[in-house]
Amino acid sequence: MKKITLVAFALTFIASINLFAQTADIPVSKIAVIQIKTSGECDMCKTKIENTIGVMKGVKKTELDIPSQILTVEYNTQKTTAEKIKKAIAEIGYDADEVKANNRVVKKLPACCQPQPRPEIQK
């Protein structure tokens, strides 16, 4: 009986080593963090941008810093791309780096969320 138990244990041990070796070949998810300059200017903008981007497939975390208008996004590069994230921001009415906001949507945003003209700097 001890011999059968020992053989069963040895086979289980060898099988588990083989299983571990196979799972080591599975690629690990690639997590990236990007910072995107947006046109979000208030708490309503922050909520809308963070909630919209936060539910995208592959997005792990979002945080919009209102004073700098910088959105930081942590995401899985195997599930989404920076370009898709920027496009989603533009589709809800906000600029995202070089991707300009959808003008039709911008006009429907509350007044506080519409981009405010910046004063010209005199030289």
Closest by Cα among 36, 40, 80, 76 to 60:
76
Instruction: Write down the pLDDT at residue 58.
Output: 94
For 50-63, what is each residue's pLDDT tens digit? 999 999 999 999 99
For 10-54, what is each residue's pLDDT tens digit? 555 555 555 554 444 445 569 999 999 999 999 999 999 999 999
Q: Confirm whether pTM is higher than 0.85.
A: no
For 50-102, what is each residue's pLDDT tens digit? 999 999 999 999 999 999 999 999 999 999 999 999 999 999 999 999 999 99
| Top-confidence residue, 114 or 70 | 70
**What's the fold here for domain 31-113?**
Alpha-Beta Plaits (3.30.70)
- Provide the 8-state DSSP code for 31: E
First to last CA, the chain: 93
Closest by Cα among 95, 93, 107 to 38:
95
